[in-house]
């Protein structure tokens, strides 16, 4: 089994694969197949073999897509990293994953040189241009077969301990997800996806790339999301997908009208809760009901509202083909219809476990093989899943995950701070915003700008608190645990 081989069955050689915003064809399917073959050959000549791990921290470009495909076809484990991650964060990933090669941009080369002495560090654009010079006839490159369980990619997701964990996604997992989504969203060769998401997360990488690839459809490829640009380009596309913040921002564009959305077959939202108000406002303005779906790094996509049939506002829909979803109450039994509980999922899409954490398997999975998601929800009598909260202490800001524990560890390391609590509060643009509550040492003169400044060179900027409050003490329960619900109530 090889995801690339599987995707390739959908390729239509003469068709445009990547298209620029002004409709120029960047790569046809034949081009991308040839070029990714050359890069795979070049990586093999450099000594990379299937199972080797490769770090990729680069700005979004067409070259990253080529690299991703080259890795898939040769079995190299692709590990994308958010471009906002700084040295302090990368230090952990490098030590944990021990990649054979780091692929990065010129500007980041120095950082990695200081972090690792054992990994080769290559500049993406140089790698691609050297590979292009190989001029090896494309048919010389054979596609390898692997076990379906072989790792295709590893994506870091943080945890309640504050330490990130590498979720290993196999070729089988990614194939299963591309197939179930093709079916659920009726994807076809005629589709044109307007792609504006970053490609270092599940959403933009696996949903946004694998689905068009599996179906030979085209992608209008933008380096980043801009509501104005998106609304202008919508008439050239048939599908748009994004996090709820994208839809909130698009709603403020005057050019977003029923007419500008005429060619769109489906708008898809995920990665964070879509407010019912956004769903309704969008329908009023465009005539379209956004299809909300539910996924996560460890599982890919699990559920989606249907294309045909009722799309329930506030619900993330029905289980995708081949995915089982259930809820488990606090007392440990499987929830009845409507009864809230922790969401558990099982299917070919679900990962096998975290990198180097086999000992936690029994905590992460149930005895009968369901993954415990840490999300709280209820399933109604018609099988629709409603997410109602999270068991895990997690903030999702503009579709990006921030784990409070990680920030609390950073803040508490400052000598001016006695203790801290980080919480999420509603935000009109990002859905949730990061807020820090600080108990400062008595003699310290710490204020918000000083704190932010100190955090700036330690953590990615999207994690930096948007608000900071100073308290004399934190509310605690009788067990000594900080009562974040009280803080949330007080500050909202």
| Site for ligand MLC contains 164 (CB under 6 A) | no
Q: How far is the CB of 365 from ligand AMP (least distance, A)?
A: 15
472 DSSP assignment: S
Interface residues for ligand MLC in 418-457 (CB under 6 A)? 430
Q: Which of 16, 164, 295, 353 touches ligand AMP (CB under 6 A)?
A: 295
Per-residue string for binding with ligand AMP, 139-158, x by CB under 6 A? ------------------x-
| Site for ligand AMP contains 294 (CB under 6 A) | yes
Q: Candidates 128-136, 293-301, 324-332, 402-410: pick the segment binding ligand AMP (CB under 6 A).
A: 293-301
| Site for ligand MLC contains 377 (CB under 6 A) | no
| Site for ligand MLC contains 394 (CB under 6 A) | no
Q: Are 208 and 6 in contact (CB under 8 A)?
A: no
Q: Candidates 57-65, 88-96, 206-214, 292-300: pick the segment binding ligand AMP (CB under 6 A).
A: 292-300
Interface residues for ligand AMP in 247-276 (CB under 6 A)? 270-273
| 225 touches, from ligand MLC, ligand AMP, none (C-beta below 5 to 8 Å by class) | ligand MLC
Longest dimension (CA), the chain: 71
Q: Quote the CA–CA distance of 200 and 336 in Å, as a whole number.
A: 37
Q: Quote the CA–CA distance of 186 and 194 in Å, as a whole number.
A: 16
| 461 touches, from ligand MLC, ligand AMP, none (C-beta below 5 to 8 Å by class) | ligand MLC
B/e letters for 407-427, b = 16+ CB within 10 Å, e = fewer, are: bbebbeebebbebbbbbbeeb
Q: Which of 397, 414, 420, 474 touches ligand MLC (CB under 6 A)?
A: 397
Q: Quote the CA–CA distance of 304 and 141 in Å, as a whole number.
A: 38
Query: What is the number of other CB atoms lying within 10 angstroms of the CB of residue 281?
Result: 14
206 DSSP assignment: I
Q: Candidates 23-31, 111-119, 193-201, 407-415: pick the segment binding ligand MLC (CB under 6 A).
A: 193-201
- For the chain, give me the number of helices (H) and strands (E)? 16, 24
The DSSP bridge pattern shows strands 165-170 and 151-157 to be: antiparallel
Q: Quote the CA–CA distance of 301 and 180 in Å, as a whole number.
A: 9
Q: Quote the CA–CA distance of 45 and 86 in Å, as a whole number.
A: 31
Count of positions on this chain that bind ligand AMP (CB under 6 A): 18
From the list 246, 202, 249, 240, the residue with the least C-alpha distance to 219 is 240
| Site for ligand MLC contains 278 (CB under 6 A) | no
| Site for ligand MLC contains 100 (CB under 6 A) | no
| Site for ligand AMP contains 375 (CB under 6 A) | yes
| Site for ligand AMP contains 390 (CB under 6 A) | yes
Q: Cα-flanking dihedrals φ and ψ of residue 344, to 5°? A: -120, 140
Q: Quote the CA–CA distance of 69 and 82 in Å, as a whole number.
A: 19
| Site for ligand AMP contains 192 (CB under 6 A) | no
| 387 touches, from ligand MLC, ligand AMP, none (C-beta below 5 to 8 Å by class) | ligand AMP
Binding site for ligand AMP (CB under 6 A): 157, 202, 270-273, 292, 294-297, 316, 373, 375, 387, 390, 396, 401
Binding site for ligand MLC (CB under 6 A): 197-198, 201-204, 224-225, 243, 245, 270-271, 295-297, 397-400, 430, 461-462, 464
């Amino acid at each position: 089994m090889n995801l690339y081989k599987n995707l390739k069955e959908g390729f239509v050689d003469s068709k445009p694969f990547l298209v620029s915003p002004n409709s120029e064809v960047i790569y046809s399917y034949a081009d991308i197949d040839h070029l990714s073959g050359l890069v795979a050959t070049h990586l093999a000549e450099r000594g990379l073999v299937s199972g080797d791990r490769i770090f990729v921290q680069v700005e979004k470009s067409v070259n990253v897509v080529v690299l991703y495909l080259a890795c898939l076809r040769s079995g190299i484990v692709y590990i994308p990293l958010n471009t906002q991650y700084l040295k302090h964060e990368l230090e952990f990933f490098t030590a944990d994953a021990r990649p054979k090669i780091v692929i990065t941009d010129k500007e980041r080369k120095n950082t990695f040189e200081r972090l690792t002495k054992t990994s080769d560090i290559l500049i993406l654009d140089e790698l691609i241009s050297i590979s292009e010079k190989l001029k090896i006839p494309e048919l010389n490159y054979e596609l390898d077969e692997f076990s379906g369980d072989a790792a295709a990619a590893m994506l870091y997701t943080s945890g309640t301990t504050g330490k990130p964990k590498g979720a290993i996604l196999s070729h089988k997992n990614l194939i299963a997800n591309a197939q179930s989504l093709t079916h659920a969203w009726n994807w076809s060769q005629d589709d044109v996806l307007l792609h504006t998401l970053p490609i270092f997360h599940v959403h933009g990488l696996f949903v946004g790339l694998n689905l068009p690839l599996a179906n030979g459809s085209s992608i209008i490829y933008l380096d980043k999301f801009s509501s104005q640009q998106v609304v202008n380009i919508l008439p050239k596309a048939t599908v748009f997908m994004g996090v709820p913040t994208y839809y909130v921002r698009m709603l403020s564009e005057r050019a977003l009208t029923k007419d500008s959305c005429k060619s769109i077959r489906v708008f898809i939202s995920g990665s964070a809760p879509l407010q019912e108000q956004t769903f309704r406002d969008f329908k009023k303005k465009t005539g379209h009901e956004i299809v909300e779906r539910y996924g996560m790094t460890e599982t890919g996509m699990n559920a989606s509202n249907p294309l045909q049939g009722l799309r329930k506002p506030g619900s993330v829909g029905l289980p995708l083909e081949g995915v089982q979803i259930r809820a488990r109450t606090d007392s440990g039994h499987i929830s009845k219809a409507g009864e809230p509980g922790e969401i558990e999922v099982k299917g070919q899409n679900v990962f096998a476990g975290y990198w180097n954490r086999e000992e936690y398997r029994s905590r992460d999975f149930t005895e009968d093989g369901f993954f415990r998601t840490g999300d709280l929800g209820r399933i109604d009598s018609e099988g629709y899943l409603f997410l109602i909260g999270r068991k895990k202490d997690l903030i999702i800001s503009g579709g990006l995950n921030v784990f409070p524990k990680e920030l609390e560890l950073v803040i508490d390391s400052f000598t001016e701070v006695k203790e801290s609590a980080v919480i999420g509060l509603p935000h009109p643009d990002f859905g949730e915003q990061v807020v820090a509550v600080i108990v400062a040492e008595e003699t310290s003169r710490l204020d918000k700008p000083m704190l932010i400044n100190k955090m700036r060179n330690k953590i990615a900027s999207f994690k930096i608190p948007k608000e900071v409050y100073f308290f004399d003490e934190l509310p605690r329960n009788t067990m000594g645990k900080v009562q974040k619900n009280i803080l949330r109530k007080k500050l909202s």
